[in-house]
Amino acid sequence: MSSLDWRDRAYDEAFERTIAGLDARRRTDPGFAVEDAEGVLRHLYNQEGLDMGSRGMAQEAALEATIAAYEHYINEWRAESAPSDRSGP
């Protein structure tokens, strides 16, 4: 067991928690749009770049996981909303 396994677990937990939160918001808030999620993602990118006080490994793992979850969720959301390209012969 690696001494950084806790970081991987923290990352995975933050990722799953973020996905679950986005799913719940999408189910319960009819006004929640992909553009809203993209706005949060832009804020997260800004927050990532503002690490002047050194946030530490735990907070860094949580922020990285949250960003990755938003990116993943937005990509999946856009893919399911995209028109299907089934213009075969």
Where do the domains of the chain lie? 5-78
Report the amino acid identity of residue 89.
Answer: P
Name residue, tokens 């999408």: 26
Token pair in block for residue 16: 């799953």
pLDDT digits over 8-53, tens only? 999 999 999 999 999 999 999 999 999 999 999 999 999 887 765 6
Q: Could you tell me the pTM of the whole model?
A: 0.84
Nearest in space to 16 (alpha carbons), one of 58, 73, 56, 55: 73
Report the amino acid identity of residue 11.
Answer: Y
Q: How far is 80 from 43, CA to CA, in rounded Å?
A: 24
Which of 23-27, 52-56, 59-63 reaches the highest mean pLDDT?
A: 23-27
User: Alpha-carbon Rg of the chain, whole angstroms?
Assistant: 16
